[in-house]
Amino acid sequence: MVTATFRFYDQLGAFLPRERRGREFSTPCAREATAKHMIEALGVPHTEVDLVLVNGESQGFEHALSEGDRVAVYPSFGQLDIHALQRLRSQIPGRPRFVADAHLGGLARLLRMAGYDTLYDNGYHDDEIERIAREEARVLLSRDRELLKRRSVEHGCYLHALDPAQQLRELFARLRLGGAMRPFSLCLHCNLPLRQVEKAEVLDRLPPRVAETHTEFTTCDHCGRVYWKGSHHARMCALLADVELPPSPDSQP
Ligand SMILES: [Zn+2]
């Protein structure tokens, strides 16, 4: 048994009991325990950690802890450039795609609205979500720490907020998604690309009042739904413009 001292920075504190937040604390570690093992044993999923310093040196997750080590654990840095230090995982390749767990239907819908490919089904069980994330290189979205601690989960994101719009804001800030939005390009139900159509092609699927007052339409070739820029569209545009802004201090956990 060895004893090491830990400090978790910024929003990582939300995973700890109150008395361990924002300060150093010492804890016994099993012999040969790795940094990752202890970080997760203390309550923080590995997906939430971007950088570990042991005695001031950048180290990997598999670093074995020794007596008296001082371990500083940092979350995703967002804009800050830490390329000189050892990142703990590869960058997300290309445009991020997501798989959301069964409790995040509202967030999944908002991500689709912003044009981010997001798989979601409220019948998914944990093994299935883990498999999809691994096989399709998707970012796993969850409020279940144990799911995010699974070894095969490379890219994941714990959502601190309960409200879907706040969750979207968290995710946009963490992964810098704002600049690559493609609003209203995906079907909200099927997660598939929408196609522009002439009014004549969809006239029989439109409420008469919508047919009279709108000229631009898109449709999903999978489910046949038709989309137009109604009052709902305006509200959603306002929401998407708003989430591009950085989180306000009182929306932090
Ligand atoms: Zn559809």
Q: Ligand 1 centroid vs 222 CA: distance in angstroms?
A: 5
pLDDT above 80 (res 88): no
Instruction: Output helix, strand, coil percentages for the chain, rounded to the nearest 5.
Output: 35, 20, 45
| DSSP H/E element including 71 | strand 70-75
Whole-model pTM: value is 0.88
* Whether the Cβ atoms of residue 68 and residue 3 lie closer than 8 Å to each other: yes
pLDDT tens by residue, 129-179:
999 999 999 999 999 999 999 999 999 999 999 999 999 999 998 888 888
Q: Ligand 1 centroid vs 200 CA: distance in angstroms?
A: 19
Q: Ligand 1 centroid vs 185 CA: distance in angstroms?
A: 11
- CB-based neighbours (< 5 A) of ligand 1, an ion: 187, 189-190, 220, 222-223
- 236 Cβ partners below 8 Å, 6+ apart? 113, 183, 184
Q: Ligand 1 centroid vs 160 CA: distance in angstroms?
A: 29
Residue 237 tokens read as: 């545009």
Distance (Å, whole) CA 6 – CA 11: 15
Q: Ligand 1 centroid vs 93 CA: distance in angstroms?
A: 26
Q: What is the pLDDT of residue 251?
A: 43
Query: What kind of fold does domain 2-74 have according to CATH?
Result: Ubiquitin-like (UB roll) (3.10.20)
pLDDT tens by residue, 185-232:
999 999 999 999 999 999 999 999 999 999 999 999 999 999 999 888
Q: Ligand 1 centroid vs 110 CA: distance in angstroms?
A: 15
